[in-house]
Amino acid sequence: MTPDQWPTAFTARIAQGMREARKTAGLTMGEVAQGCADRGLTEFTEHSMKNLESGRKVSITVADFVVLADVLGVPPVSLLFPLGATATVEVLPGQEVSTWDALAWFTGETPLDQPAAEGTARDVLDVFRHHGDLVAAATSSNALAKERRRTASTTLDRARRATLLQRAEGYEEHAFEDCQELRAFRGRMHERGLVPPALPDELAFVDQPEIPSKTEDSE
């Protein structure tokens, strides 16, 4: 493929993904256009969709692209790089790589031999991904600790109850440490001038001045 052919081919790949997603969702072109209008994109009509799917429309704006992805109910990146449908893609003119490598490059997940330099775009992506991992760990450990405490508290056998309560304390300590780590990491993000994502309700206490020494079993 020549460099001047690549933009058209790239758009055609997106259009094919949109056509497949539309059919999977059971939507007509008119319904897609109405979905765009409902989201404030009134200029993308049923005729626009027909032209895109037929190949008569050889380019698409970023605004059209993200709204259409939402209407079709698919992650935008999956329209750019059809993971699972094709082994390789021409990610840039003359650069054929595996579809997974193309997707990872686009989302900033391409492995590096060394950590990204602080302050770079890649570094910021890594910081937020790590924050997401910490939130997931804290959410999981807190839920497990509460479950263990609840199970112990509803056990009638005294000996078994004592054993389960002792085990629950271990889970609570683990959850406490996860929350401490998350709180410290969010503090470092603030120090760097980064705004951390809002925490889920069950972890809202992490942003309070003090973290409880034990996970509270509050509903």
pLDDT digits (tens, 9 = 90+) for 54-88: 999 999 999 999 999 999 999 999 999 988 888 99
Going by pLDDT thresholds of 50, 70 and 90, the confidence category of residue 154 is confident
Identify the residue with better confidence: 211 or 153.
153
Q: How many helices (H) and strands (E) does the chain have?
A: 8, 2
Confidence class of residue 219 from pLDDT cuts 50, 70 and 90? very low
Q: Quick check: helix, strand or coil at residue 67?
A: helix
The 3-state DSSP composition of the chain as helix, strand, coil percent (nearest 5) reads 65, 5, 35
pLDDT, the chain, mean: 90
Q: Which residue has the tokens 């389960």?
A: 164
* pLDDT confidence band for 112 (50 / 70 / 90): low
pLDDT beyond 50 at 19: yes
Average pLDDT over residues 139-160: 90
pLDDT of residue 212: 53
Is the whole model's pTM more than 0.75, yes or no?
no
pLDDT at residue 118 is higher than 90: no
Close Cβ partners of 206 (under 8 Å, ≥ 6 residues apart): 138, 179, 182, 183, 186, 199
- pLDDT above 60 (res 214): no
pLDDT computed for residue 218 by the predictor: 46
Mean pLDDT of 179-186: 96
Q: What percent of the chain has pLDDT over 90?
A: 69
